[in-house]
Chain A
Amino acid sequence: MAMSNEKVSNHIPNDLVFSIMSKLPLKSLYRFKCVHKSWAILFENPNFMNIYRKNFILKNHSYYDDTCLLLKHMVLDFESHCVLHLCSGERLNSKVKLDWPPPFQKDDRDINILGSGINGILCLYDEGISSRVVLWNPAIDEFKVIPPSPVESLPHYVICEVQHHGFGYDSIGDDYKYFIVPLKFR
């Protein structure tokens, strides 16, 4: 049946919206959650998120657009604190202090940045008896605590020290990889 002439509805079926949304920057994607309920639940659709991530990785990124620098430094008053600043702008001259994610807010004595993956995710850890490892996306302020590795819960008479070695994104397995090396002392 022929369509009536002149006026074509702008109403776009969902699968086409899907294709458009998968090409948006993350910020717009989050903003457009408010457009319609069906747009908000796209984030829960693993199929969509997969396509989104793939597009994101394939895209030519200009590393000098929106570049920002994270500066971590120690402040000493009564005890030491780690402070994180985000420097952005054309000459990296606009400086904002970032709050650590909740797991580190009470104790910020020795926080380290192990590395960063795609999608703005940082891997943080602190040294100490109960070393914690946290994945954190400062842009959207969401975090996830990585459960301790089995080697970290060995009986206490086995002295074992864990070295945090690396963090990155594995595009084949579509997952983040966090790598530690346990060192055992006799």
Chain B
Amino acid sequence: MAAEKSSIKIITLIAADGSVFEVEPNIVKEMKTVQSYIDELDQNTVSIPLPNVFGNDLAMIIEYCKKHASEEETKEAKEEFDFEFVKRMKSDDKLRLLQAASYLNMESFLQFMAKAIAAEIENQSVEFVRDYFQIESDFTPEEEAELRKENEWAFK
């Protein structure tokens, strides 16, 4: 157990591409992977390599965390931020951020990204979804035809 956790002033996160981010301890609270690492250390400054997260993505995640950790922001302002945050992302960004959220063990950010992806694929075709996730069907054409027939109402 660390003697004085509060003694840590600045945390340095190093992304996969080597870009460096300095953040305050309250920003990484939501990143459980990072937090548990910090908890085990007894130092004033820590630097943590995150080999599975790219700099661009990490910058976005930090931006999100800052906004949501802020006590001055109203609930409406945070919602507005969330809306704009998702709006400027492409599909690939969302998928990468979802995986980063999983790697960093950020529960509420993960749910947020999952919701954004769900909103993008809902009511789309099966082909769209396969393409989106780069999934190859493992059904035979007969099996798929059968399944489509069984669930005909869902295709209307």
Contacts and interface: CB of A to CB of B under 8 A. Distances in A.
| Closest A-B pairs by Cβ, 3 of them | A30-B154, A23-B118, A19-B114
A34 B98 contact: no
Interface of B: 16-17, 51-52, 54, 92, 95-96, 98-99, 102, 110-111, 114-115, 117-119, 121-126, 129-130, 132-135, 137-139, 144, 147-148, 151, 153-155
Contacts of B95: 8, 10, 12
B147 A40 contact: yes
A35 B147 contact: no
Given A20-B118, A31-B126, A34-B148, A10 B92 contact: yes
Chain A at the B interface: SS class: loop
Contacts of B155: 31
Q: Range of interface residues on chain A?
A: 20 to 34
Contact of A11 (B51, B115, B134, B144): B134
A19 B111 contact: yes
Contact of A12 (B122, B130, B133, B148): B133
Given A19-B111, A37-B139, A27 B123 contact: yes
Chain B at the A interface: SS class: helix
Nearest to B111: A19
Contact of B133 (A11, A15, A34): A11
B154 A31 contact: yes
Given A25-B122, A40-B147, A35 B135 contact: yes
Nearest to A141: B153
Contacts of B118: 20-21, 23-24
Contacts of A3: 16, 51-52
A149 interface: no
Interface of A: 1-3, 5, 8-13, 15-17, 19-25, 27-28, 30-37, 40, 139-141
27 contacts: A3-B52, A8-B54, A8-B95, A9-B134, A11-B134, A12-B99, A12-B133, A13-B99, A13-B102, A16-B98, A16-B99, A16-B102, A17-B133, A20-B114, A20-B117, A22-B114, A23-B114, A24-B118, A25-B122, A28-B121, A28-B123, A32-B126, A32-B129, A34-B144, A35-B137, A37-B139, A141-B153
Nearest to A3: B16
A20 B147 CA distance: 21
B53 to A, nearest CB: 9
A27 B124 CA distance: 11
A36 B51 CA distance: 30
A34 to B, nearest CB: 5
Contact of A10 (B122, B133, B144): B133
Contact of B154 (A2, A8, A15, A27): A27
